[in-house]
Structure 1
Amino acid sequence: MLSLQIGPLALPTGLVLLFVSLCVAYGVAWWLRRYRQLPDAGPLVSDLLIAGLLAARLAFVLRWHEQYFAAPWSILNIRDGGLLAPAGIAAALAIAAWRCRRPAMAAMRRPLAISVASGALAWGVLSAGMGLAYDQPTALPSVALQALDGAPTTLAALAGGKPMVVNLWASWCPPCRREMPVLAAAQQARADIVFVYANQREDAAAASAFLDSSGVTLRNVVLDSAAALGKAAGSSALPTTLFYDAQGRLVDTHLGELSDASLASKLQKIAPPDSL
């Protein structure tokens, strides 16, 4: 399941799990301070979180520096989800070791370790539970789609044995409109990957009107009037982008607006070996 519906909001599942895990870590730190009279590890947990996020973002920016340096302002646009988790975890652990190295901080080691471990355990248990409760499809959904001219089609027919990017969008969705030029440029540049733009719950007139006014040229625009692809992927949020390899296996997903760098990082995972 890629997103959770909370009232009128559709939130990425990963973001919800992170929030809950942090609440567990802070809650355990508070309990240890209140009932076990141990030092308060909460402020240090916050420091580790900030350091980890900054390091993960910096590592991602350096990895895809060509895309970011072409538009430096985009470095600040963290909505693209550009983070390298291993770099963030390494930075957080390094900060923890550095801060707790002194004898004066020895008493902080135990509550910090218990708090962080509790948060990590909560993340693992919740992630496993979500995986068991909501099976994520691993193959191309056999959903009946319709081209703008009314012709029926399917994702398998459009893929033609190539890797595929499936973008779920709607004309009323601001981040969908903002990322369209990025996807259009990638479609023009990558003949080895099939791009499909599945409009959700709109008719051909609405989709065509948007495309005509936007000036963006797209191939493989289809209509998914029942939002069946979103249901199959477990996402009610827009935009959602699905990345399939040449065998039709779901390799990666992205919720929210794509940047040049975040799209490039996803395409690398499905690109044919001879194009890497």
Structure 2
Amino acid sequence: MTIGPFSFAPGVLTALLALFAALGVGNAVARRASVNVERALWLCAAAALLAGRASFVARWWSGYAADPLRLLDLRDGGFDAPVAAIAAVLCGALLAWRQRPARGAIAAGLAAAFLAWGASHLWWTAREPAGALPALTLETPDGARIDLRTLAGQPVVLNLWATWCPPCRREMPLLARAQRAHPGVRFVFVNQGEDAAAVAAYLRAAGVELDRLLLDRSGALGRATGSPGLPTTLFFDAGGHLVGRRIGELSEATLASHLQAAGAPAASAPTTR
């Protein structure tokens, strides 16, 4: 994964791996049986994608209502994996019932997809650093030093960003509004690798006001939390335990879902304009 506009969330890579596994194994079994299952497997993948996305959008519709076209942008990570899995199984069962000679190949393809998804999920989970606020002390733009561990006591959102990162700049107004709307959540904006003058110049030009702005000139927080790209947003509950991670740009809906998982109090004001 790379930093900046080409960062990919683990969920996207896991889904792609599952798709390639389904097509590879399913087609291999189909060739031995002299049948064609590629269309069936693509239909199952489409059913999973649509069902998983529709379920998430339905639960967090308020985050898309102001800009319905945003629901087509799957890069925001809004997806219900359990619903997608059920849809894939139901689609596969229906197609296998209708295409008896291809039953074995369809079943093999779906089994490969679930095994690949499970293995990938376990691998990402194993790479996840210890889920607690890092033992790091960072500076504010005016030189004060803040120990990140002292932020516990309320849900915490750590946003790793840089002024040169396009998705960071796009999500910043949303995060600034969320900070004002959620006084019971400690939003902390940790700039990666830049000095105070560059950060201040960017925020002034963009017209964005942020509280709890910290500077991480050496990128220590990214290394400590295993964050592979920017933007990365980490969500901690009031006890300081990591409960969510978003690699890539946040939408209002994905932000709301992560805040709920962190136990954030309800917003005191809308986060949209």
- Once the 2 structures are TM-superposed, how far is the Cα of residue 91 of structure 1 from its aligned partner? 2.0
| Secondary structure of 1:70 counterpart | coil
Contact 1:48 1:95 in 2 (8 A): yes
Q: Are the structure 2 counterparts of residues 191 and 225 from structure 1 closer, same or farther at C-alpha, using a change threshold of 3 Å?
A: same
Instruction: Report the counterpart of residue 153 of structure 1 in structure 2.
Output: 146
> Counterparts of 2:14 and 2:71 in 1: how far apart (Å)?
25
- The answer as to 2:116 corresponding to 1:119 is no
Instruction: Report the counterpart of residue 15 of structure 2 in structure 1.
Output: 18
CA distances 1:90-136 after superposition (whole Å, capped 9, x unpaired) = 2222222222333xx1222211111111121122223334444x242
Instruction: Report the counterpart of residue 209 of structure 2 in structure 1.
Output: 217
- Once the 2 structures are TM-superposed, how far is the Cα of residue 137 of structure 1 from its aligned partner? 2.1
> Counterparts of 1:100 and 1:106 in 2: how far apart (Å)?
6
Match of 1:182 among 174, 182, 185: 174
CA distances 1:185-228 after superposition (whole Å, capped 9, x unpaired) = 11101111100000001111111111111111110010011111
- Once the 2 structures are TM-superposed, how far is the Cα of residue 156 of structure 1 from its aligned partner? 1.9
Report the AA paired with residue 75 of structure 2: R
CA distances 1:48-74 after superposition (whole Å, capped 9, x unpaired) = 111111111111111111221122222
Q: Are the structure 2 counterparts of residues 83 and 130 from structure 1 closer, same or farther at C-alpha, using a change threshold of 3 Å?
A: closer
Q: Are the structure 2 counterparts of residues 130 and 71 from structure 1 closer, same or farther at C-alpha, using a change threshold of 3 Å?
A: closer
Instruction: Report the counterpart of residue 25 of structure 2 in structure 1.
Output: 28
Report matched runs for 1:55-66 at 5 Å: 55-66=51-62
| Secondary structure of 1:202 counterpart | coil
> Counterparts of 1:69 and 1:275 in 2: how far apart (Å)?
18
What TM-score results when the alignment is normalised by the length of structure 1? 0.89
Instruction: Report the counterpart of residue 83 of structure 1 in structure 2.
Output: 79
Q: Are the structure 2 counterparts of residues 10 and 70 from structure 1 closer, same or farther at C-alpha, using a change threshold of 3 Å?
A: closer
Report the AA paired with residue 245 of structure 1: D
Greater CA deviation, 198-207 or 19-28?
19-28
| Unaligned runs of at least 5 residues, structure 2 | 268-273
Report matched runs for 1:127-146 at 5 Å: 127-132=121-126, 134-146=127-139
CA RMSD of aligned residues (A): 2.1
Give runs of ≥4 in structure 1 deviating > 4 Å. none
Match of 1:110 among 104, 115, 126: 104
Report the AA paired with residue 155 of structure 2: P
Give aligned pairs, total: 266
- Once the 2 structures are TM-superposed, how far is the Cα of residue 235 of structure 1 from its aligned partner? 1.8
Q: Are the structure 2 counterparts of residues 9 and 78 from structure 1 closer, same or farther at C-alpha, using a change threshold of 3 Å?
A: closer
Report the AA paired with residue 120 of structure 2: L
Contact 2:92 2:110 in 1 (8 A): no
> Counterparts of 2:140 and 2:195 in 1: how far apart (Å)?
11
Contact 1:32 1:40 in 2 (8 A): no
Match of 2:91 among 52, 70, 95: 95
> Counterparts of 1:141 and 1:45 in 2: how far apart (Å)?
43
Contact 1:171 1:177 in 2 (8 A): yes
- Once the 2 structures are TM-superposed, how far is the Cα of residue 275 of structure 1 from its aligned partner? 4.5
> Counterparts of 2:54 and 2:266 in 1: how far apart (Å)?
26
